[in-house]
Amino acid sequence: MKESLSIETERVDDIPLLIAHMQRMKLAELLDKHFPTNGNREGLSLGWVSVIWLTHILSQADHRMNRVQEWATRRLETLHGCGSSLTPHDLTDDRLADVLR
C-alpha cells in the first residue's frame, strides 16, 4: 500500500527580510519594555504581535487587521522560522486582532 504524499507550499516573499530587520532593531523588546501588559495575556507578547502586524502591513500594503489572521495562518512555518514563537493557537479567536485594538 502506498502512502499518500501531501505537500504544502508557502510564499515566503519579503517576510524574512522584514522580520530580520525588526529583530535587529529590537522592536519587539522595545515595545514590550515600554508597553507592559497586565500579565493575563496568553500567546505572543505585544511586541511580537506588533512585529507580525507591521510585517503584514509592509509586505501586503494592507493595514486592515481583519486580514492578518488569514495571512499569518497561511505563512505559519515562515513566521515560525523567522524567530517568532507563533503557534496555530495564537491565531485562534482573533488573538492578533484583539491585542491590537
Domain boundaries, the chain: 15-100
Can you give the pTM of this predicted structure?
0.75
Cell numbers at 55, concatenated: 510585517
Cell numbers at 76, concatenated: 505559519
Q: How many CB atoms lie within 10 A of CB 45?
A: 19
For residues 37 and 60, which has the higher predicted lDDT (pLDDT)? 60
C-alpha separations of 41 from 36, 49, 75, 96 in Å: 11, 12, 23, 12
Q: What is the mean pLDDT of residues 34-60?
A: 86
Note the pLDDT of residue 67. 87
Task: Give the closest residue to 81 by CA, choosing from 1, 8, 15, 36.
Answer: 15
Residue 80 pLDDT > 50, yes or no? Answer: yes
- How many whole angstroms separate alpha carbon 92 and alpha carbon 40? 17
Q: Give per-residue pLDDT as tens, 20-41.
A: 999 999 999 999 999 888 777 6
Residue 100 pLDDT > 50, yes or no? Answer: no
> Is 75 in contact with 10 (CB distance < 8 Å)?
yes
